[in-house]
Amino acid sequence: MTTPYTESHDLFRKTVRDFCEKELRPHVDAWEKDELFPRWVFERAGELGILGAHYPEAHGGSGGDYWYSVAKAEELPRMGCGGVPMALMVQSDMATPVISDLGTPAQIDEFLKPALRGERISAIGVTEPGCGSDVAAMRTWARVDGDDYVINGSKTFITNGTRADFITLMLKTQPEAGHGGISIVLFPTDVKGFHVSKKLEKIGNWSSDTAELFFEDCRVPRRNLLGEEGEGFRYLMQNFQSERLIASVAACAGARLTLDEGLAYGRERVAFGKPILKREYWQHRFVDLLTKLEAGHALTYRAVDAYNTERYVKKEPISFDTTKLISMAKVFVGDVASEVVDQVLQFHGGWGYVEDFHIARAWRDQRLFRIGGGTTETLRYYLAKLLGL
């Protein structure tokens, strides 16, 4: 395929790169230590148009296509950590696309537009303590009481969970109906009965807050229902494709930056009389890694092209073939990116195991990719069904 980027895309990419390298990277070490970054990051990203570049102007965005989001995801890793990019992409690519697709004008004004401006922090509430990739097994539920839903249950592994102003919340409005009883409700977190029960301590992505949430007789207006009642599972499966795709883009970009750092280290580090990159073993390993990463990048871009054509050009739902490509990309890129960071850490020897070098953080942060948005094992099972195996 030919390059999809125009001069406008390139200018936007430069805006994101400057934001990451000049405004964020100098603070990242402190934010990692504090295990949180300040709200002004969301606000500044909104001010620069980074969060809403691929949303319609009527919804508070800039009216661009999906390649703007790709450019953003490729530049965000330049800030030097995984936590902040993940939190920003939850805001722009995971918790909010379904609002743009299904929201009423009032819901778009109340929830989506402030999120794209960075004024309200969003989270997406899917995973529960008793069910992860098995979404249909969720137990958080809502009963109707007059003009309200009364919500009870819990969610876990929620990015932005400790400080979200609202949650795009998956729950059951018909608990006995399996996946056919799932709905989506826009849940403001200032509601009585809502609690952040625990901030989770993670292996990586330290600067991003991740929480366990608890809902006890929380009243939310029924007007906050997103789309139709009982259609939430179908909506979520469409939304998952955007989440998995943008995560694959970011993983490719982060792995490439990690490889470049490894190559630079190998040219400078001398062992047994010559730079370690001059050792034939490591030359061959880097050739293999670069080749696999190039293949992953090509597969991801093919999936992006198909997704952009269907969602932004033809304005159609995501097709079977595009869903298959996105799932394949996430599985393949997940394995390749994990291999890249692990091998680059090994290449650094003992220095790769200490915090003095960025590779230690990259190794920790990248590991989440094969879990979040559907585990690699679940996606392989899903692909086997799609392929009729």
Q: List residues with catalytic annotation.
A: 243
Amino acid, res. 121? I
85 and 76 Cβ atoms separated by less than 8 Å? yes
Q: Helix 232-268 crosses helix 66-75 at what angle (to 10 degrees)?
A: 40
The residue among 344, 113, 55, 374 whose CA lies nearest residue 241 is 374
125 and 213 Cβ atoms separated by less than 8 Å? yes
Structure-derived torsion over alpha carbons of residues 59, 62, 65, 69, reported in degrees to the nearest 10: -100
Contacts of 107-110 with CB under 8 Å at 24 or more apart are 107/186, 107/223, 107/224, 107/226, 108/59, 108/60, 110/186
Separation of alpha carbons 240 and 242, rounded Å: 5
State both tokens at 240: 């998952």
Q: What residues pair up with 195 in beta bridges, in sequence order?
A: 214
Provide DSSP, 66-127: HHHHHHHHHHGGGGS-SHHHHHHHIIIIISSHHHHHH--HHHIIIIIHHHHTTSS-EEEE--
DSSP label at 131?
B
Separation of alpha carbons 134 and 154, rounded Å: 15
Phi/psi for 142 (5° steps) reads: -135, 135
Separation of alpha carbons 156 and 133, rounded Å: 12
